[in-house]
């Protein structure tokens, strides 16, 4: 039975629309935190009203604001990955065994789901006049705790991420308006300034100069023409399940249409590349050999400008029929973002699988949800038949018109400057505030209803797909788009990512019956045990618990109320056939991806078997706490 959008939380829990839960924002001010050591004062209940204070993210100096964001990210990661309990006071003590000391961290808000708010830490034992610890120093201290040689790289990556975040804040505070050519989708994609709140280096982009960052960063409204190569037909490989008006369209035809009349030699096909990638490829010996033999031709930049989305390498042009997922050898967060051949196969395969009748069954039950399709790709094989890395293109449907308000959950919940106002706030806080003002209801009550609608419109369809077809989606906050109506209520959702599919081995026979040969080239079948672990993290912890944490940390709702609502929803969803609701309800601990430890171990999350690409740790399940 579906949870109706206006359903309330269980009567046994405190209701969200009472006076005591109208909680103002409460943060520890940057001035006090930077000049004095935190004392062990009694802990205040973070769910009750407190004395509002300035938020460190609102610091007028963008460098200090960016450093505060980087500090909080590192500390949130450490708390989660060490499974540290809530402190008994308003100060969290973090032992540092490698240096024989400890950090004393002011706690402005303790989140049951991990979206804590912290002030700048100090080192225990130093006088109160000593400076507090900045993000780079904290990264160095935490790196020493691991004793791993790869850990030293973290310090530079944190510095890079904080520096770029400061640049983004500087630019957006100067002009917070969207790009003048942006549709609603692009405006949302380019609004994610701080990135993943539980990643140590969310905005690190190793390899981009400052000038290149201005061109290629969505946060700076970058835009550019694509760089084109011509590829001899003997080397070109492709696949396409793209249709228009019942007619099959090849990947070569799609690329030629995007080339906007670009001339190319006879016997070749045009291939668009990211300009940064093209420059790097021209220095590679294997590419130089193909150019010298006349099998590749460098045609240079051409055509209308494209705009980077939140992933940086996927580009969008309002009104175009396609988006393009380009290879980009920049190391973003943990990985070099070059397309893998199995991922290209996977995108087309999923599109074909959905067209076997699966999407009709799905949308008969959940008409507001779908997958953004990746139905065509182009790539290059060397004369010996080996794939040439970095010379490839995924062609993605663009399902969004100018009036479609589709925003990824990460952008919805992340604070950013806003026009005509001081300080930072998230779009989630703004739309909930407007709904509360329009309806005359308390903000916590509107937050609870918004959350319930989100569960029904976005989470329930994902659980249906897993239970009905054995397909689990890697639905983290950046891959999950929520569709909003004119008032700001969730009315549907979209999932996007040709990488993030887990076909359960227990459903292999059924899926092969739908699409013979499925998985042969895409390497998408995964054991149910690994699927359960990853699905619980991506949809359960990252997506839904992350959303609850955003509501709580931004003082929109009491997280305990939303956790109760989520438990009620999961109980109603146990009949969908997915094991995830039962797992989230019953397990005392969960396995969580450890972004900091993954970084400290020097892992590239796109390389190697799916079960060893990232570090996972055991954490307390807040739904059972």
Count the helices and strands in the chain (H runs, E runs): 21, 28
Give 31's pLDDT tier (boundaries 50, 70, 90).
very low
The pLDDT assigned to 45 comes to 52
Q: Sketch the domain layout of the chain as residue ranges.
A: 19-175, 207-397, 405-620
CA-based nearest residue to 484, from 556, 427, 438, 564: 427
Q: Which residue has the higher pLDDT, 464 or 46?
A: 464
Is it the case that residue 423 has pLDDT exceeding 50?
yes
Q: What pLDDT is recorded for position 50?
A: 35
User: Which DSSP category does 466 fall into?
Assistant: H
Interval 12-29: pLDDT, tens: 333 333 333 333 333 333
Could you read off the pLDDT of 512-544 as tens digits, one per residue? Answer: 999 999 999 999 999 999 999 999 999 999 999
pLDDT band (50, 70, 90) for residue 150: confident
pLDDT of residue 262: 97
pLDDT single digits (tens) 74-132: 999 999 999 999 999 999 999 999 999 999 999 999 999 999 999 999 999 999 889 99
Tens-digit pLDDT profile for residues 292-351: 999 999 999 999 999 999 999 999 999 999 999 999 999 887 778 899 999 999 999 999
Q: What is the DSSP string of 196-246?
A: -TT-SSTT-EET--HHHHHHH-GGGT--EEEEEEEEETTTEEEEE-EEETT
Give the three-class secondary structure for 324. Answer: strand
Place of tokens 């802990």: 43
Tokens of 299: 């045609």
Nearest to 334 by CA among 188, 196, 220: 196
For 74, 541, 615, the CA distances from 591, given in Å and listed in that order, are: 19, 9, 10
Note the Cα 200 to chain centre separation in Å: 13
Q: Does residue 605 surpass a pLDDT of 70?
A: no
Local confidence band at 149 (pLDDT 50, 70, 90 cut-offs): confident
CB atoms within 10 A of CB 440: 6
Q: Give the model's pLDDT for residue 41.
A: 39
Q: Is the pLDDT of residue 5 over 60?
A: no
> Quick one: CATH architecture of 405-620?
Orthogonal Bundle (1.10)
The pLDDT score that the predictor gives to residue 611 is 53
Mean pLDDT score, 256-272: 96
Q: What is the pLDDT of residue 278?
A: 98
| 316 within 8 A of 186, measured Cβ to Cβ | yes
In DSSP notation, 543-575 reads IIIHHHHHHHHTTSS-HHHHHHHHHHHHHHHGG
The average pLDDT across 250-275 equals: 97
Cβ atoms of residues 439 and 446 within 8 Å: yes
Question: Which pLDDT tens digit goes with each residue over 368-387?
Answer: 999 999 999 999 999 999 99
Q: What is the pLDDT of residue 352?
A: 98
Which whole-number Å values give the CA distances from 248 to 236, 241, 377, in the listed order?
19, 7, 14
User: Could you read off the pLDDT of 237-262 as tens digits, one per residue?
Assistant: 999 999 999 999 999 999 999 999 99
How much is the pLDDT for 143? 92
Which secondary-structure segment (H or E) carries 525? strand 525-526
Whole-number Å distance between alpha carbons of 122 and 115? 21
Res 128: pLDDT:
84
pLDDT of residue 333: 78
pLDDT in tens, 153-196: 899 999 999 999 999 999 999 999 999 999 999 999 999 999 99
Encoded tokens for 13: 């829990």
Mean of the per-residue pLDDT values of the chain? 90
């Amino acid at each position: 039975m579906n949870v109706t959008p206006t359903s309330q939380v269980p009567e046994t829990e405190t209701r969200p629309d009472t006076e005591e839960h109208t909680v103002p924002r409460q943060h520890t001010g940057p001035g006090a935190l930077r000049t004095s050591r935190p004392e062990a004062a009694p802990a205040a209940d973070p769910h009750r009203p407190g004395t509002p204070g300035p938020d460190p993210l609102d610091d007028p100096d963008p460098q200090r604001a960016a450093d505060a964001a980087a500090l909080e990210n590192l500390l949130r990661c450490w708390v989660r990955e060490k499974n540290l309990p809530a402190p008994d006071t308003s100060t969290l003590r973090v032992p540092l065994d490698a240096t024989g000391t400890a950090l004393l961290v002011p706690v402005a808000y303790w989140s049951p789901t991990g979206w804590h708010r912290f002030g700048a830490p100090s080192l225990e034992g130093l006088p109160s006049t000593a400076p507090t610890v900045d993000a780079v120093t904290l990264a160095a201290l935490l790196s020493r705790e691991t004793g791993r040689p790869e850990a030293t790289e973290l310090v530079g990556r944190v510095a890079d991420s904080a520096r770029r975040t400061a640049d983004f804040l500087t630019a957006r505070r100067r002009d917070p308006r969207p790009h003048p050519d942006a549709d609603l989708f692009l405006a949302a994609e380019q609004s994610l300034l701080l990135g993943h709140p539980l990643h140590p280096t969310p905005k690190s982009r190793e390899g981009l100069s400052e000038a290149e960052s201005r061109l290629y960063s969505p946060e700076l409204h970058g835009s550019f023409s694509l760089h084109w190569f011509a590829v001899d037909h003997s080397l070109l490989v492709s696949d396409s399940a793209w249709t228009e008006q019942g007619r099959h369209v090849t990947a070569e035809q799609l690329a030629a249409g995007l080339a906007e009349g670009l001339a190319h030699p006879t016997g070749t096909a045009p291939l668009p590349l990211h300009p940064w990638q093209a420059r790097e490829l021209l220095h590679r010996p294997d590419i130089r050999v193909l150019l010298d033999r006349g099998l590749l031709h460098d045609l240079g930049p051409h055509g209308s400008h494209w705009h980077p989305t939140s992933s940086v390498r996927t580009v969008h042009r309002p009104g175009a029929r396609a988006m393009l997922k380009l290879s980009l050898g920049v190391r973003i967060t943990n990985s070099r973002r070059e397309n893998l051949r199995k991922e290209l196969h996977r995108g087309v395969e999923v599109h074909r699988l959905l067209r076997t009748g699966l999407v009709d069954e799905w949308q008969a039950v959940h008409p507001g949800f779908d997958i953004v399709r990746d139905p065509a790709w182009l790539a290059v094989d060397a004369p010996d038949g080996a794939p040439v890395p970095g010379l490839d293109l995924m062609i993605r449907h663009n399902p969004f018109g100018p009036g479609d308000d589709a925003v990824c959950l990460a952008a919805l919940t992340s604070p950013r400057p806003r026009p005509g106002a001081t300080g930072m706030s998230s779009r989630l806080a703004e739309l909930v505030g407007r709904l509360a003002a329009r309806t005359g209801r308390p903000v916590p009550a509107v937050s609870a209803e918004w959350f319930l609608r989100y569960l029904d419109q976005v989470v329930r369809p994902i659980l249906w797909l897993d239970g009905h077809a054995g397909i689990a989606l890697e639905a983290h906050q950046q891959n999950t788009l929520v569709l909003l109506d004119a008032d700001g209520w969730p009315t549907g959702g979209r999932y996007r990512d040709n990488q993030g599919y887990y076909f359960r081995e227990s459903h292999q026979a059924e899926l092969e019956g739908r699409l013979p040969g499925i998985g042969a080239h895409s390497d998408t079948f995964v054991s149910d045990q690994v699927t359960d672990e990853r699905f619980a993290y991506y949809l359960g912890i990252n997506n839904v618990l992350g959303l609850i944490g955003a509501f709580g940390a931004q003082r929109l709702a009491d997280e305990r109320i939303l956790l109760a609502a989520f438990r009620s929803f999961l109980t109603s969803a146990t009949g969908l056939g997915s094991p995830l609701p039962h797992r989230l309800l019953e397990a005392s601990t969960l396995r969580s991806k450890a972004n900091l430890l993954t970084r400290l171990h020097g892992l590239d999350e796109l390389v190697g078997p799916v079960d060893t690409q990232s570090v996972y740790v055991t954490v307390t399940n807040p739904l059972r706490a």
